[in-house]
């Protein structure tokens, strides 16, 4: 089963690099808000992982794994600008599953496929600890943002939409 392979690949990576992490077993769930409640933390401490299709020109399509805080959306305009692209949107489910090596709701914030470019919002790597489903609906991982950045080596760019309650274009005080 590919999900089990992806889960095992994650655990092997964490173990072989001696990265501190914590496993959390919970009822099967793949939606950020409800699984965050099951794990006992606010959604802002979760990683939302979305596979995107980015068309840089008529013939070139890139696939991007966007990682943002769980209480925020991916800012597709920011991604489009980041890649100087004509279009940025959500990948179809089959492509996302193939590239992420896991089903929706269990996508890791790691790009284990060479055709998947990893971009994480700075708010994710700044977290002392954040949570994500571990390529399984019934188990999650807690890891520090610094350890995540060291292991996953994402491109760190502001790709999250405004924080909840923050008006688009407004500056927080």
pLDDT digits (tens, 9 = 90+) for 92-149: 999 999 999 999 899 999 999 999 999 999 999 999 999 999 999 999 999 999 999 9
Provide the pLDDT confidence category of residue 166 given band limits of 50, 70 and 90.
low
pLDDT tens-digit readout, 67-107: 999 999 999 999 999 999 999 999 999 999 999 999 989 99
pTM for the predicted model, two decimal places: 0.92
Domain range list for the chain: 2-156
82 sits in the region (left: phi over 0; alpha: psi -120 to 50; else beta) called: alpha
Q: What is the CATH number of domain 2-156?
A: 3.90.960.10
Structure tokens at 64: 């991007």
Q: Are 142 and 130 in contact (CB under 8 A)?
A: yes
Q: How far is CA 114 from CA 35, 65, 81, in A?
A: 29, 11, 22
pLDDT at 164: 79
pLDDT at 86: 96
Q: Please provide the average confidence, as pLDDT, over all residues in the chain.
A: 93
Q: Which residues pair with 54 in a beta bridge?
A: 62, 88
Which residues touch 11 (CB under 8 Å, ≥6 apart)?
134
CA distance 105 to 29: 7
């Amino acid at each position: 089963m590919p999900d089990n392979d992806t889960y095992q690949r994650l655990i092997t990576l964490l173990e072989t690099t001696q990265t501190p992490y914590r496993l959390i077993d919970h009822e099967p769930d793949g939606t950020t808000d409800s699984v965050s409640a099951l794990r006992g933390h606010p959604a802002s401490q979760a990683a939302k992982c979305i596979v995107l299709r980015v068309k840089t020109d008529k013939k070139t399509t890139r696939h991007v794994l966007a990682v943002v805080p769980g209480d925020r959306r991916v800012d597709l305009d920011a991604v489009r600008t980041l890649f100087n692209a004509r279009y940025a949107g959500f990948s179809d489910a089959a492509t996302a599953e193939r590239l992420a090596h896991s089903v929706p709701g269990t996508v890791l914030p790691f790009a284990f496929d060479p055709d998947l470019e990893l971009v994480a919002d700075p708010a994710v790597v700044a977290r002392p600890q954040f949570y994500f489903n571990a390529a399984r609906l019934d188990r999650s991982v807690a890891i520090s943002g610094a350890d995540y950045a060291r292991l996953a080596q994402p491109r760190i760019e502001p790709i999250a939409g405004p924080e909840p309650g923050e008006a688009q274009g407004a500056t927080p005080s």
